[in-house]
Structure 1
Amino acid sequence: MNHRQLSFDLPVRPALGRGDFFVSPANAMAVVLLERWQDWAGHKLALIGPKGAGKTHLSHVWAATSGALILKATDLGDVPIPAVAMGPVVVEDVQDIAGNRELEEALFHLHNLVLAEGFPLLVTADKPAHLWGLTLPDLQSRMQGTQSVTLDQPDDQLLAAVITKLFADRQLMPAPDVITYLVARMDRSFDAARDLVAALDRAALERKRPVTRKLAAEVLGQSELPDLLDNSA
């Protein structure tokens, strides 16, 4: 494979299929629970994890399996709750509606109707329910009583897979040694991976160069060791 490809300003197209999701110890429990959604306690689950941890990806995988409708919590004021409650539902980023009485009440009614109709409910957030800051007591109690699973910060394998996927979403294919180089030196978070890949994409476009270890070192603000300069452009 020729890794010295030119860089083009192509649209970012996230791949959200099950085959695009890399399973590691950091997310294995979440994957298992989503695959066994018929067994959720109370027919509901809270998927918790930092931004970029894979919540959206897993939500889409589960929605494709269960036929669920995916909604942003901040959009609940604009949807017909009784109609959307007639099937499985995903509500993303519940922490974003904390303190908004109208949206909290909408989620409370959706929660009750979906479960009353016998359908499963998946909610996502960046932290545990007791830290969301919900002000509607009935909703808070129901969310805190919801079974939850956490996506942890990435281990080396998962971080490498996430970076590879982020590059692929941007239609970039750097050499494997670039991925190894980045994993060993970057901040260990999904946010850092997303920001770093975006920065490398911009740098490659601006300098009209492929993504190599040398470019990665420049973006990271580091100097490569002599042995890392071999085969770099």
Structure 2
Amino acid sequence: MTTQLPLALRWPRRQRFEHFHAGANAAAVAAVQALAGETDAPWIYLHGAPGSGRSHLLVAACQAAHAAGRVVQYLPLSTLGDKATALRGVVGSELLALDDLGAIAGDRDAEHALFDLYNRAKADGSALLFAADATPSQLELTLPDLRSRLGACTQFALKPLDDDERRAVLKAQATSRGIQLDDSVLDWLFSRYARDLGALLELLDRLDQASLAAQRRITVPFLRDFLRQADDPPT
């Protein structure tokens, strides 16, 4: 049986549709929103590089569907030990979001379990939402029928926000909190702190609290000292 976590742990506050900055992914976001809210919407397969927002959209869909009264489950396959057992234990979901499909590639038992789950979901009228770092044809799946089933889904390639878009989001988020982020701060951060947007926004949360506690503006020296003290060195 899959573990049911408390809602507060299952649905992170930031991973909602209103916190997703679409950029070039507006069509994908609209399709996922439709799947979360409509029982007859096409099944969706999202693929993209790390930081493109795959997991964010899956969790956002689950949150929205749950708020609408639907039974939902989110299954991050890369974190599961016995993936085949977990997949076979999924029952009763009206919307099931399956993340990191590449984690089962080459595991014949898990691939067969997902194939059976796909067919059960079709028969039961459930909805499936998939995400991976590659297209179905690029995953190293050993089961051709599973690759075919996944390939029949509506597919979207997610593109990460570029640096200009991420800078604009950070500036807007900072301004909404009454924080002024100078270009010099952003230049230093983007040259030394290679993170996706979600991590950058979490960093902004922490910087906001630290600057308020210290009664200091967020400058390059403040940022450098904060990261050193937080034992979170730039990469």
Shorter-chain TM-score bucket reads: 0.5 to 0.7
Tell me how many residue pairs correspond in the alignment: 197
Alpha-carbon RMSD: 4.0
Separation in 2, partners of 1:23, 1:179 = 26
Is 1:35 the counterpart of 2:33 in the alignment? yes
Are the structure 2 counterparts of residues 181 and 190 from structure 1 closer, same or farther at C-alpha, using a change threshold of 3 Å?
A: closer
Q: Tell me how far 1:83 sits from its aligned partner.
A: 4.7
Aligned match of 1:73 in 67, 71, 77?
77
- Write the deviation string for residues 117-164 of structure 1: whole angstroms up to 9, x where unpaired: 111100001121111111111111111222111211213454236657
Aligned match of 1:175 in 164, 177, 180?
180
Q: Which runs of 5+ in 1 are unaligned?
A: 1-12, 220-233
Is 1:19 the counterpart of 2:18 in the alignment? yes
Partners of 2:51 and 2:197 within 8 A in 1: no
- Write the deviation string for residues 32-90 of structure 1: whole angstroms up to 9, x where unpaired: 111222464xx311011211221111111111222321012243323363652542100
Residue aligning to 1:55 = 54
Residue aligning to 2:4 = none
Q: Which runs of 5+ in 2 are unaligned?
A: 1-11, 227-235
Are the structure 2 counterparts of residues 218 and 130 from structure 1 closer, same or farther at C-alpha, using a change threshold of 3 Å?
A: farther
Q: Tell me how far 1:19 sits from its aligned partner.
A: 2.4
Separation in 1, partners of 2:125, 2:194 = 37
Are the structure 2 counterparts of residues 195 and 61 from structure 1 closer, same or farther at C-alpha, using a change threshold of 3 Å?
A: closer
Residue aligning to 2:229 = none
Are the structure 2 counterparts of residues 141 and 180 from structure 1 closer, same or farther at C-alpha, using a change threshold of 3 Å?
A: farther
Are the structure 2 counterparts of residues 23 and 80 from structure 1 closer, same or farther at C-alpha, using a change threshold of 3 Å?
A: closer
Partners of 1:70 and 1:92 within 8 A in 2: yes
Residue aligning to 1:229 = none
Separation in 1, partners of 2:97, 2:117 = 11
Paired letter, 1:182: D
Query: Aligned residues: percent identity?
Result: 26
Are the structure 2 counterparts of residues 166 and 77 from structure 1 closer, same or farther at C-alpha, using a change threshold of 3 Å?
A: farther
The alignment partner of 2:55 has SS state of helix
Q: Tell me how far 1:18 sits from its aligned partner.
A: 2.5
Is 1:149 the counterpart of 2:156 in the alignment? yes
